[in-house]
Structure 1
Amino acid sequence: EELALYSSPLVVSFGEEIDEAIRGCFFLIDKPSDNYRIVRQAIQGLIHLSKQRPTLRPQVMLKILQVINSPRVYRSHPRRFAVRGIGHIATTDESLVTPSVELLLKMVDRDHEASKYVRKAAFCALSRIGHSTHSYW
């Protein structure tokens, strides 16, 4: 009976819906509109979907880094949200903790990041990782 649940059309369509949602989020980030809230929601969607599908985390991290590293394309608010997203994703995957912490430490440094708002978001993301992963250390 459990096996029948996994092969039902409902589960297959749910997987297809996740794929479609991911493609939609990538599209909204790749073609940002003037309304920064749309990009922010797309980032939030990717973070949520990466919790549903751990195999997506590397792609999601790359897309988030694209937003962070493009200050001329994305306004400060989506970039801050992307930085916070790194903290969220790192808390769901122990293998991402160390690289995420190293990246965020660079963002806190004024020599690497000009935006004080992004630096503050990086500090908050570090706090989130430290708070939720202190048992790893």
Structure 2
Amino acid sequence: MSIFGGLFNNDNDTKKQNNSDNAKLRLHKEELDINKYSVQKGEVELGKEIIEEQKTVEVPVTREEIVIERKCINNESSNSCITNEEPIKIPVNEERIDVDKRTVVTGEVSAHKRTIESTERIDETLKREEVLVNKIGNPDVVDSSSNNQ
């Protein structure tokens, strides 16, 4: 057994060197190793939906009609003979409605991505090894290390 007794453990990473005049002990500490990676959070799909609606529009139209007026004439004499005459033709018109549809552009939708930077807080417990000097008796010990990390 060494002069430090059971102070050293026997794992391979400790790498102790021990003889009667000197000894070495490697100290370890944990550090954070932070890596970032990208994951797909979701997606946005743009599409179109067709909505049908009934539209009622009142359009004024005109039409013609023939008005027949009859007058009573009290047996007036006439020099005309009764013959077959050509009939009178009067054209009658009306407005009709012709409905067509046309497509017009009413707007435009665009989409783009933007990157937002933020900060996330990570709280983690880290371990480190410190040397433990156990004095047995009254030996003189000089600690030459100035950094106690």
Shared fold, TM over 0.5: no
Q: Which has the higher helix share?
A: 1
Greater RCO structure (CA 8 Å; 6+ sep) = 2
Structure of larger gyration radius: 2
Give the TM-score, by structure 2 length. 0.15
